[in-house]
Structure 1
Amino acid sequence: MGGVGRPRIALVTSSYHPHLGGVESHVRHVARELRGRGTEVEVWTVDRGEHLGVTELDGTVVRHLPTPMPARSGRALMSFGLAAPRAWKAWRSAFRAFHPDLLHVQCFGPNGVYAAALARRARVPLVLSSHGETTADDHDVFGTSALLRLGLRWAISAAATTTGCSEPVLEDLRNRFGLIGGEVVPNGVGPAPTKTSSSVLPDDLDLGDGPFVLGVGRLEMTKGFDLLVEAVAGMDPDLRVTLVLGGDGSQREALRSLGDGLGLGDRLRLVGPLDEAAVDAWMRRADVVVMPSRREAFGIVALEAWRAGTPLVATSLGGPASFVTDGVDGVLVDPVNTAAVAHVVESLLHDPARRSALGAAGEASARRYSWQAVAESYAALHADVLRPENEGAADQGSVSAGGPGREGPSSR
C-alpha cells in the first residue's frame, strides 16, 4: 500500500485530457474524488502520437503511454515488432515510478490489453470498467478486431471484478465476452461548473427569436444526430425551431449537408466541441435537450440536462431506459422513428408547464448521481479486492523484461 492504509490506484483509460468526451470526464472526476478520499492516484492513458509524456491535471499525474497493436500486413507487423518493446518498456517504467497496488482499466481498448499483461507480470489485481465500448463504438472495433475481442475475454477472466456503466453494458459482456456477474457503477454529474469556458457560448451567436433544441456528443452515426436533424426539419415550420449541435466528429459536414438539403439553413448550428462549462451554459439556455443515439451505453448528457433543469428527450435504445423514468424526469423515444421524436419535442415546445415539471424532476434525479457516490463505489471495490485474503501472494516488484505479447492474448 502507498502509505498506511492509502492504496495506490492507476486509472488506465482509453482516452483523456486534452480530448473531450464521456470517458475522459468520468475518469477526471473519479481521479479527483479518489484523491480527495486519500487514495494515491495516477491516470495512465493512450499516447495518440502526441508524445505528451508525463503531465499533470488537477494535481494528478497523467502518463501518456504508447499502445501499439499488431495488424495483419507485413509492414504493420514489422512496425509492431519494432514499437512493442519500446512500448512495454514505457509501461514497465510507469509501474516502477508509481508502484500501484491495483490497475483499474476504464474503457477497454489497447490500454486494457497492456494493463492486463502488466497486471499479470507484476502480480497486482486488475479491475475493469466498461463504458459501452463493445456496443456503442463509432467504428465497431470489437466487431472488426479479433485481437481486441480475445483480449477483452482474457482480461475479464483475469480481472478481480468488472463493472459497467449500465445493465445493458454488462449484459453484452455476459453474452459475448464471458463475464459472470458484474456490478453497475453509473456515470455521475457534479455541481454546475464555475470555470470560464473557452468554447462557443450561446451569447456568441444570434439564434433568432424561436425556441432551440440542443444535442451534445460526438458527431458520429451511433449518436443519431442525423435522425435529430430529420426530426427538426419535420416540425411545424411556424415554430422556427433552431437545432444546435455541440461536438465534433466525422459526420460534421454530412450533418451540415443534410440540414441544407432539408431546408434548415441557418436553423442548424454546429458549434464545435464544448467543454463542461459550455455544455452547462448551452443546456440552461435550451428549451429541450435531445439525446437521439442509435445505441447508448449510459448517456451522461442526460445527467447534464437534469443538472441544468432542462427537459430531456432521450433514446429508448440502451442505457437511458435503465435510469430515466419515462414521463417523469424525461421522455423516452425510439430515435429511429423521427416522426415520433418530432411529435414529442413539438408537444413540449407547446407546453411550458410540462417542460417545467420535467426539468424540476430531472434536477431532483440528478442529485442521486454525484461523482462522490461513483468514487465511493469504486473505492469500496478497490478495498475489497485489496483485502489480504484476496490479494494472494502478490509480488509487486517483479516486472520482467518480457513484453505483453508473451502473457497476453497476442500470443494465443
Structure 2
Amino acid sequence: MSDTPANGPALAVVVKGWPRLSETFIAQELAGLQDMGHDFAIWSLRHPTDTKTHPLHDKITAPVHYLPEYLRSETARVLAAYRAARRLPGFAEARRIWRADFARDRTRNRVRRFGQACVLATELPAGTRAIYSHFLHTPSTVARYAAVMLGIPWAFSAHAKDIWTSPDWELREKMAGDATGATFGATCTAFGADTLRDLATDPDRIDLIYHGLDLSRFPAPPERPKRAPGDPIHLVSVGRLVEKKGFDRLIAALSMLPDTLDWRWTHIGGGELKDQMRDMAAKGEITDRITWRGPLTQPEVIEAMRASDLFVLPSRIAINGDRDGLPNVLMEAASQKLPILSTAISAIPEFIESGTQGLLASDRPQDLADAIAWMAENPDDARAMADAALDRLRSDFGAEPGLRRLSERLTALTGA
C-alpha cells in the first residue's frame, strides 16, 4: 500500500479493483479527468489479478491505495481503524445505517464493507473533501459509510451488474435525498438512467453520461479488402467468459453453421467459465477452428479487430438478472470499421439500430448462426453497417461531452 500523505487530493475515487483489463471505461474516464486538471487518489477494495495493464493505466499518475481485501488478513490495521473511526463525527450514524443494512443482508461481505469503510475514513488525508465511487454496489457501500463517518459528500457512477443485481431498497437508500445519500449519480446508459431515476428521491441527481470513446487513442480504421472466394471469415469476440456475455450460445451457434461456410473464431478475455466453454467447443467438434487468446491489452485487442471480418457479442440476461450495459468493445469495433453482430439487450440498441449500424439477433443459437451466415454472405451490407456505426460513434459517442459534464459535477462536489 502507498503511504497516505497528511494532505492529499481533494477527491478520493473508490473502485472495486485496480487496475483491471476488463474496465477500460474507468481507466479512460480517470485519464480524461486527470488531463482536465482533476487531482485525485484511487482507493481499491481489491488487489489486481490481471498480469497485464493497458497503456491508459500507465498514463494515470494518481496515487493508489489498497484497502484490506479481507479483514482477517490485516487485523491490526482494521482494529486500529475501527478505534479511530469511533471518534469521527458521523460514526454513530454510519453504524446505524450499517446495522439496518446488515439486518437485511446478513453476510460476511456486509461486515467486510463496514471494516473497509473504517479504514478508508481514517486513512484518507485531511484534505479530502469528497468520495466518488465506481459501481453502485460494493464500492458505493464502502464510500457511503466512510463519507457519513467523515461528514463529507459522496457520489457514484453506476454501470450494469451493480444496478441489475442490487436490491431496490439498497439503491433507494443510496439515492436518498438526505445527508447519507449520494449528491449525484452518473450512469452510462439511458436504460440504466431511467431505472435509477424511478428509484431516486430526486431524479435530477441522476445524470446520463455515456463513456463514449476517445478516438484520438485509436488508429484510423484499416482499409478492408473484400474476402476472396474460399477465404474463411474471421470472427472475433471480446468479453469475459461469464453467463451474461452469452458465449455458450455463440459456441452452440458456431456448431450449427453450414458446412459450406469456412470460419474461424478468436475469443479474447478471461472468466470463470473458461473450462466449460472449451468443453462445449470440444463436444461440438469445432475446437480446431477456435483460438482462445485470454486477456489482452487494449492495443492487442485493436490489432485483433483489425485482422478480423466480424465482431460478435451475444449478450444476454443472466439468471440472477445481471446483464451488460453498453459494452465499450462495441464502440472499439466500430472505431475500426469492423461489422458488428450483437443482441438487443439492455442499452446495446442505444448505439446499434439493427440493420443500420450492425445486426442485432436474439441470443438463440440458431438465430445467431443465421445472422453470422447472413453477414458472411452479404459483405457489402455488412461493410455499409460498419461505416454507419463509425459515423454514429463520431457524432454521438465521443468521450469529451461526458467528461465535461462529469468534471462539472466533481468540481461542484469537492468545491475545488
TM-score (norm 2): 0.75
1:242-257 correspondence to structure 2 within 5 Å: 242-257=264-279
Aligned amino acid, residue 343 of structure 1: D
Match of 2:142 among 114, 117, 120: 114
Shift of 1:334: 1.7
CA–CA distance in structure 2, aligned partners of residues 155 and 135 of structure 1: 12
CA separation of 1:95 and 1:263: change in aligned 2, threshold 3 A? same
Shift of 1:154: 2.5
CA–CA distance in structure 1, aligned partners of residues 170 and 208 of structure 2: 22
Shift of 1:340: 1.9
In the alignment, does 2:379 pair up with 1:379? no
1:34-53 correspondence to structure 2 within 5 Å: 34-48=33-47
Q: Deviations over 1:299-318 (max 9, x none)?
A: 11111111111011121011
In the alignment, does 2:353 pair up with 1:354? no
Match of 1:306 among 331, 334, 348: 334
Q: What is residue 404 of structure 1 aligned with on the other side?
A: none
Q: Give the count of matched residue pairs.
A: 349
Q: What is residue 28 of structure 1 aligned with on the other side?
A: 27
CA–CA distance in structure 2, aligned partners of residues 229 and 86 of structure 1: 42
CA–CA distance in structure 2, aligned partners of residues 381 and 313 of structure 1: 35
CA separation of 1:268 and 1:187: change in aligned 2, threshold 3 A? same
Please state whether the residue corresponding to 1:232 is helix, strand or coil: helix
In the alignment, does 2:125 pair up with 1:96? yes
Shift of 1:110: 2.5
In the alignment, does 2:24 pair up with 1:15? no
> Structure 2, unaligned stretches of length 5 or more?
1-8, 50-56, 72-97, 220-229, 317-322
Query: How well do the aligned residues superpose, as a CA RMSD in angstroms?
Result: 3.2
CA–CA distance in structure 2, aligned partners of residues 80 and 130 of structure 1: 19
Q: What is residue 238 of structure 2 aligned with on the other side?
A: 216
Match of 1:233 among 237, 242, 255: 255
Shift of 1:85: 8.1
Match of 1:130 among 137, 151, 158: 158
Please state whether the residue corresponding to 1:96 is helix, strand or coil: coil
Q: What is residue 153 of structure 1 aligned with on the other side?
A: 172
Shift of 1:16: 2.2
CA–CA distance in structure 1, aligned partners of residues 153 and 351 of structure 2: 31
CA–CA distance in structure 2, aligned partners of residues 172 and 227 of structure 1: 27
In the alignment, does 2:294 pair up with 1:272? yes
Contact 1:42 1:60 in 2 (8 A): yes
Q: Deviations over 1:35-82 (max 9, x none)?
A: 1111112222212498xxxx986212122223658989xxx86x987x
Aligned amino acid, residue 307 of structure 1: S
Shift of 1:150: 5.0
Contact 2:114 2:145 in 1 (8 A): no
> Structure 1, unaligned stretches of length 5 or more?
1-6, 144-148, 196-207, 389-412
Aligned amino acid, residue 320 of structure 1: I
Shift of 1:27: 1.9
TM-score (norm 1): 0.75
1:182-201 correspondence to structure 2 within 5 Å: 182-191=206-215
Contact 2:121 2:149 in 1 (8 A): no
Q: What is residue 360 of structure 2 aligned with on the other side?
A: 332
CA separation of 1:184 and 1:375: change in aligned 2, threshold 3 A? same
CA separation of 1:46 and 1:319: change in aligned 2, threshold 3 A? same
Aligned amino acid, residue 155 of structure 1: K
Q: Deviations over 1:241-295 (max 9, x none)?
A: 1121111111111111111111212112211012111111111111110111103
Shift of 1:382: 2.2
Q: What is residue 321 of structure 1 aligned with on the other side?
A: 349
CA–CA distance in structure 1, aligned partners of residues 217 and 277 of structure 2: 29
Match of 1:165 among 165, 188, 192: 188
Please state whether the residue corresponding to 2:172 is helix, strand or coil: helix
CA–CA distance in structure 2, aligned partners of residues 171 and 263 of structure 1: 44
CA–CA distance in structure 1, aligned partners of residues 216 and 248 of structure 2: 29
Match of 2:397 among 369, 386, 407: 369
CA separation of 1:63 and 1:56: change in aligned 2, threshold 3 A? farther
